[in-house]
Amino acid sequence: MSVNDAALGLQVWPLRGLPIVQPGDDLAELLASALVPLQPRSGDVLVVTSKVVAKAEGRFVNLRQVTPSPRALALAAETHKDPRLVEVILSESRAVSRAAPGVLITRHRLGFVAANAGVDHSNTSPDPDVVLLMPSDPDGTAKQLHERLSETFNAHLAVVICDSHGRPHRLGTVGMAVGVAGMPGVEDLRGQPDLFGYRLQHTEIGLADMVASAATLVMGQAAEGVPAVLMRGLRFTPRAGSAAEIIRPAQLDLYG
């Protein structure tokens, strides 16, 4: 699938032939093999789902081995959720932002606010008691993939690790960046002129999130089986970048 823009000529290709990732797999090696037919070049962006990163890291939890704490039991009663699942969510969270029947929103230990701290059943295991946590250090993993794949293909290959998140006041999930390397997480356009010469005062672009969302159109959200895509034609100034730079500080977060 290609997403074409008259100015950018943006193209997004799914990586074919990737196996179901298992704990301990060398993800960089698997991705490199799948990238060969697409002939990566400098300026391309590889987008990888957080799920395959977490699977390679072995971030599975069997709920049968979890003992809920008193706090988890209380929140489970309030939210009507499995207390074992609530315990896992709390273990991945800094704070609870919202609890209501069917809803548990927390500030994840990585800083972002998300439902269930990103703990997920979908596309995880045929065992309904097995859940998957978010990657332990998605920015660090993005950096490792960026360095290894850039070296393999002798090209500057930026990397975005994405996950599906909801948004305040909006229905539906969208792809968001949870790990970034080799490109800006946020692109600062303040001071640049608009079409009429007015200097922009407040414009900061969530570039990595837009990349993640565009990639998700190709990856899908259910049984599509496309855990990574290559994007070409995006214009950006290469730099280290991170997903951490995207997160609004808690004291400025009106929805957290």
pLDDT of residue 25: 96
Choosing from 131, 155, 185, the residue where a domain stops is: 131
Do residue 20 and residue 144 come from a single domain? Answer: yes
68 vs 127, higher pLDDT: 68
Percent of the chain with pLDDT over 90: 65
* 175 neighbors 163 (Cβ within 8 angstroms): yes
Do residue 149 and residue 180 come from a single domain? Answer: yes
Among 3-17, 130-144, 186-200, the least confident range: 186-200
Do residue 75 and residue 159 come from a single domain? Answer: no
Residue 32 belongs to a domain = yes
CATH number of the domain enclosing 41: 3.30.1330.100
Do residue 190 and residue 95 come from a single domain? Answer: no
Do residue 139 and residue 77 come from a single domain? Answer: no
Do residue 152 and residue 181 come from a single domain? Answer: yes
Q: How many domains does the chain have?
A: 2
pLDDT of residue 256: 58
Residue 5 belongs to a domain = no
Residue 39 belongs to a domain = yes
For residue 237, the enclosing domain spans: 11-58+135-246
Choosing from 98, 131, 164, the residue where a domain stops is: 131
Average pLDDT on 225-234 reads 92
Alpha-carbon span 123 to 176, nearest angstrom: 18
Do residue 193 and residue 109 come from a single domain? Answer: no
Do residue 164 and residue 178 come from a single domain? Answer: yes
Residue 49 belongs to a domain = yes
Do residue 54 and residue 65 come from a single domain? Answer: no
pLDDT over threshold 60, residue 2: no
Do residue 218 and residue 120 come from a single domain? Answer: no
Residue 253 belongs to a domain = no
Residue 118 belongs to a domain = yes
Alpha-carbon span 88 to 138, nearest angstrom: 19
State pTM to two decimals. Answer: 0.88
Choosing from 131, 147, 177, the residue where a domain stops is: 131
Do residue 119 and residue 64 come from a single domain? Answer: yes
Do residue 31 and residue 75 come from a single domain? Answer: no
